[in-house]
Amino acid sequence: MDGLYCLRSDLIRDDCLDGWTVIGSGGFGQIYRAKHKGWGTDVAIKLLLYNDGSTSSLQREANLMFQGGNPNVLRIFGLYEGRLGGMHNLSQVGLVMEFMSRGSLADLLHALSGPPPWPLTFRITHQIGLGMNFLHQLATPLLHLDLKPNNVLLDDSLNAKLTDFGLSRVARSLSKSVQEKDESEGGTLSYMPPEALNSVNYKPNKASDIYSYGVLLWSIITGKEPYANALSSLVRFRIPQGDRPDVTSIDHSVAEGLDDIVQLMSACWTHEPNQRPSFRDCVHVTEKVFNMHKRGVNDAVHDVLKQLDDDICSGLRSVQISPKAKNRRPPFISCVTGPSPQQETGANQKAEGRKKDSLSRPVVFVAPHSNRAPQRQSSTPGRVSIHMSNVSAVQIGNNNFMNISPGSRQRHQTAPSSANRSQRL
């Protein structure tokens, strides 16, 4: 295929992409990460599931999304068309989008077990408002209709960008009632406005997104999921009756301007659609509050990124590589694990004497080099230190496997005659 064809922004085929990896899934389809050969950058591809099997509606929607260009709206590079995995697969279509390395706002709230630091919280709420205001201000307004933490993605600096316009439609052309759609098409129940649950004649409009934004604000500043412990049938019934997420536990005094955000939240989820503010009104409030905390944003972002990166690396901290000492024995690996049963493994240990570790504590298995004599492995109770030499692999954890290709092995000169040379690890 001509290399210039791969650089077209409206259609991207298999020949342009390499290294497909699944990174997520949802009601609208599977999401992959791949590298664009022509651009040399990673992209995200969402393979969409459409009931009618037609690509025409997707193409029209993609063309609308190309009207983007706002820094708080995810960039859509083009339309994917191909046969992922080989020519024998069915032809699939999807959207090729900007890849966001920090995942979603939902991932962040889960990792932090609560809201981000206030400067970052107020920046995220403002950026979401800016992105939605941009979409609503297009010549042909573009509705999102599924605002929630999962559909707010974060870049390397934790800037927020709106994604997942699988529900978006041109405002003037959308006429299906909520009863004609399942939840994957109609939005996420906890964030849906009461009119969507209470009327067979419901037609989404800008006020629908405003309501969802109000619930999203609550989720961001509390770090929680709305109605987390309620039955979906009860939520569907009670929202039209006036129930909303609990605001009584929010302490307005913990951050300057938080009271303004809570008032905006309540205005957004008011029952009557025509009484809700516009996103232009929303960003006036969020900008004012964000400016109060703007100086602390860089420190907040640094602290959160450090915490996220430390969490990722925490699982590897117990494995330490000791440097090679001069004029001494070969380098060895020192693995520190949590408390575990006393174990001792030597060249004369009987294979039938081994037992599987049924505990949930970390366990380390080591494979000796195939071209060297097996070395002694030992551990002691308590904070266990395992010292090994001449090893080719280390396996950490329970209920997993390590395959090692067999090779020539030499009998150690100190090993007793009864040593089991075929011993498996």
H helical segments located in 180-314 = 183-186, 194-198, 206-222, 232-238, 258-268, 279-293, 297-313
On whether the CB atoms of residues 135 and 162 are closer than 8 A, the answer is yes
pLDDT of residue 200: 82
- Cα–Cα dist 152/161, whole Å: 6
Phi, psi of 41 (to 5 degrees): -125, 160
pLDDT in tens, 161-212: 998 764 545 333 333 333 344 444 345 899 999 999 988 888 899 999 999 9
Question: What value does the mean pLDDT take over residues 335-339?
Answer: 44
The 3-state DSSP class for residue 99 equals coil
pLDDT of residue 391: 52
Question: What value does the mean pLDDT take over residues 326-339?
Answer: 44
pLDDT of residue 196: 92
Helix 279-293 to helix 258-268 angle (10° resolution) is 160
Q: Among all residues, which ones are annotated catalytic?
A: 146
- Cα–Cα dist 17/78, whole Å: 13
| pLDDT top residue among 424 and 59 | 59
Residue 247, pLDDT > 60, answer yes
pLDDT in tens, 98-135: 899 899 999 999 999 999 999 999 999 999 999 999 99
pLDDT of residue 239: 95
- Cα–Cα dist 138/266, whole Å: 26
- Cα–Cα dist 104/123, whole Å: 15
**Would you state the CATH architecture of domain 1-99?**
Orthogonal Bundle (1.10)
On whether the CB atoms of residues 240 and 198 are closer than 8 A, the answer is yes
Structure-token pair, residue 31: 């999401």
Question: What value does the mean pLDDT take over residues 42-59?
Answer: 67
Residue 266, pLDDT > 70, answer yes
Residue 363, pLDDT > 90, answer no
Residue 154, pLDDT > 90, answer yes
Tell me whether the CATH fold assigned to 1-99 matches the one assigned to 103-317.
yes
pLDDT of residue 373: 46
- Cα–Cα dist 289/295, whole Å: 12
pLDDT of residue 38: 87
Residue 349, pLDDT > 50, answer no
Domain boundaries, the chain: 1-99, 103-317, 319-396
pLDDT of residue 81: 82
The dotted CATH code for 103-317 is: 1.10.510.10
